[in-house]
Structure 1
């Protein structure tokens, strides 16, 4: 059984990182350059994560609609 935190698709981590920065920019949130998120509020980090999930669901719905 694969580790739940391991990504199955090569390059997925880079794509998710890019998506994170795009969404943060859209929300007007500056991500720390050093990668330490301890100075960010829970609301900021949560809004980025929620928006990522929302975008991924939209992408999956579009892909599924195209198959049927």
Structure 2
């Protein structure tokens, strides 16, 4: 997809800044943050981008499961 064709949108638009920060934190954990230049991800391989996205989803699911477990007690 080219620029301007992004089809997925945040449900809470105010979370945009936090999600961007979260993405860069995960990129640092995966080890690709030093390849990102000025917010440009074009030099990052699809595999590495997928690793960043997959780890983001994994951590969000873990946080949600923990919040559910806390509500049930």
| Structure 1: distance between partners of 2:69 and 2:9 | 27
- Pairwise CA RMSD: 1.8
Three-state SS of the structure 1 residue aligned to 2:32 is coil
Kindly report structure 1 stretches of 4+ aligned residues shifted beyond 3 Å: none
Stretches of structure 2 that go unaligned for 5 or more consecutive residues are 1-6
1:44 correspondence with 2:52 = no
Query: 1:14-66 CA deviation, whole Å, 9 max, x = no partner?
Result: 11111111111111112523332221111110000000000000011011111
Stretches of structure 1 that go unaligned for 5 or more consecutive residues are none
Higher relative contact order (CA 8 A, sep 6+): 1
Q: Which residue of 1 aligns with 2:62?
A: 58
Number of residues of Structure 1 aligned to a counterpart in Structure 2? 65
